[in-house]
Every structure is written in C-alpha cells, then in structure tokens.
C-alpha cells in the first residue's frame, strides 16, 4: 500500500457514526446527577431552607463558601427555626463542584443544577451572592446574564441528593425522606444506580 497506508484509518472512521458534537450549537443531554452551579432551595411555602449553619462552608475543600447566620426576625422569619443564612456567597473561581456541601447540608438547602456554562470578565461576578443563588418564586434558578442555560437544565435541581440516601445507607435508596420544594412539591426519587447502569438490582 505504501504511501496510502496512513489513510486506511481515516477511511475506516469515515463511515462510522460521528461522536463529535458542534458545541455550543448542539448541547448534549447531561447525566441526571451532574454537578453544576448551586441553587439555594426554598420550602413549598416560600421559606428558605438554609439555616446558616455553615456546615457547607466547613466541609468545602476549596474554601469557596462564605456563610454567616443571624437570628430570624420573629415577625417575618426567613427560614423555619431560630437561625437563617444571613450571608451566603460562593466563589465560582474556586468551586470544584465536588458536592460535599450538598452532602453536608442538613436541610437540603443547597443543591446543584447541571449548569456549568458561565464565564465572567470581572472577578466580582464570580462570587455569587445569596440573591443570585436563591431560587425564584417559581422554584427556578435565577438566570444570570453571563449564564447559558440549555432547555431543561433548570428543572431537575437535586437529583443527586434524591438518588442517594440519608446517612448513605443502601436500604434507603429510593425512599422519600426529603422536604418539598417551592413550585415543585415533593420530588420523586431519581432512578437508582442500578437502573442508571441498566443492570439488575443486586441484593
């Protein structure tokens, strides 16, 4: 074959299905448990779930979360209980989307969306404040001008929490033990890991 032997690989690939997508025109569907930018959830009555306990900030390996709590105003409480998240900031120049904050959160207040397409030309914009992180009155993330949301990415916000289970015990998988979300009610459990893998449940 001589000098044409190198083209053999090309010729073989030419007729196979293409793996490359034309990003950003085409956006692939992300896995249900993808780790993207965070949201702060609210209860169905509109109260914030965050109680300002700082466990997320304490566990964060990148030290990107800054939280300060304060006394709930008795006549107009922000969250149920004594304390609420008075300051909540995440620096996305530092965040590594490990989701340890989501695991640490005792009230499922912080979860992650699938969004990772955001960029700034200003360091201040990289620090998301509580106003930006908190879901809106319909329970949807607030879209920032520099974020590119593909359709549906703002819907399924806490799949990852619901797929796993409290205290990490396998027998709780699929059992509803979380509170309802504003605009969405009590969400269904996500598919189990076995279902995602397309294999039989192993006992």
Q: Are 16 and 46 in contact (CB under 8 A)?
A: no
d(CA 111, CA 53): 15
> Exactly one of 32, 47, 53, 150 binds another protein (CB under 8 A); which one?
53
Nearest CA-CA partner of 179 in 55, 68, 82, 48: 48
Size of the site for another protein (CB under 8 A): 16
| Interior/surface letters 140-177, b for 16+ CB within 10 angstroms, e for the rest | bbeeeeebebeeebbebbbbbbbbbbeeeeeeebeeee
- Rounded to the nearest whole angstrom, what is the least distance from the CB of residue 105 to another protein in the complex? 9
82 touches another protein by CB under 8 A:
yes
Q: Are 164 and 111 in contact (CB under 8 A)?
A: no
d(CA 14, CA 17): 8
81 touches another protein by CB under 8 A:
yes
- Rounded to the nearest whole angstrom, what is the least distance from the CB of residue 86 to another protein in the complex? 8
> Exactly one of 7, 61, 63, 71 binds another protein (CB under 8 A); which one?
71
Listed ranges 24-32, 46-54, 90-98, 122-130: which one lies at the site for another protein (CB under 8 A): 46-54
d(CA 123, CA 114): 22
- Rounded to the nearest whole angstrom, what is the least distance from the CB of residue 141 to another protein in the complex? 24
The contacts of residue 14 (CB under 8 Å, 6+ apart) are none
Window 94-113: residues binding another protein (CB under 8 A): 106-107
Listed ranges 6-14, 47-55, 119-127, 195-203: which one lies at the site for another protein (CB under 8 A): 47-55
Nearest CA-CA partner of 79 in 155, 172, 185, 182: 182
- Rounded to the nearest whole angstrom, what is the least distance from the CB of residue 57 to another protein in the complex? 8
- Rounded to the nearest whole angstrom, what is the least distance from the CB of residue 133 to another protein in the complex? 18
55 touches another protein by CB under 8 A:
yes
Listed ranges 35-43, 78-86, 125-133, 185-193: which one lies at the site for another protein (CB under 8 A): 78-86
- Rounded to the nearest whole angstrom, what is the least distance from the CB of residue 118 to another protein in the complex? 27
Chain residues that interact with another protein, rule: CB under 8 A = 51-55, 57-58, 68-71, 81-83, 106-107
């Amino acid at each position: 074959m001589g000098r044409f032997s190198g083209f053999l690989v090309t010729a073989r690939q030419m007729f196979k299905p293409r793996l490359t997508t034309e990003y950003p025109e085409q956006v692939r569907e992300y896995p249900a448990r993808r780790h993207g930018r965070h949201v702060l959830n609210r209860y169905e009555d509109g109260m914030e779930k965050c109680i300002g306990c700082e466990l997320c900030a304490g566990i964060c390996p990148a030290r990107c979360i800054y939280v300060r709590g304060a006394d709930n105003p008795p006549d107009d409480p922000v969250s149920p209980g004594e304390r609420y998240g008075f300051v909540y900031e995440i620096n996305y120049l530092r965040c590594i989307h490990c989701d340890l904050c989501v695991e640490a959160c005792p009230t499922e207040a912080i979860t992650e969306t699938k969004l990772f397409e955001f960029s700034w030309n200003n360091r201040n914009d990289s620090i998301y404040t509580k106003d930006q992180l908190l879901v809106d009155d319909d329970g949807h993330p607030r879209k920032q001008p520099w974020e590119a949301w593909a359709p549906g990415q703002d819907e399924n916000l806490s799949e990852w929490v619901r797929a796993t289970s409290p205290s990490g015990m396998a027998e709780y998988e699929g059992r509803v033990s979380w509170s309802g979300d504003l605009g969405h009610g009590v969400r269904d459990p996500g598919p189990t890991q076995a279902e995602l893998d397309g294999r039989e449940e192993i006992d």
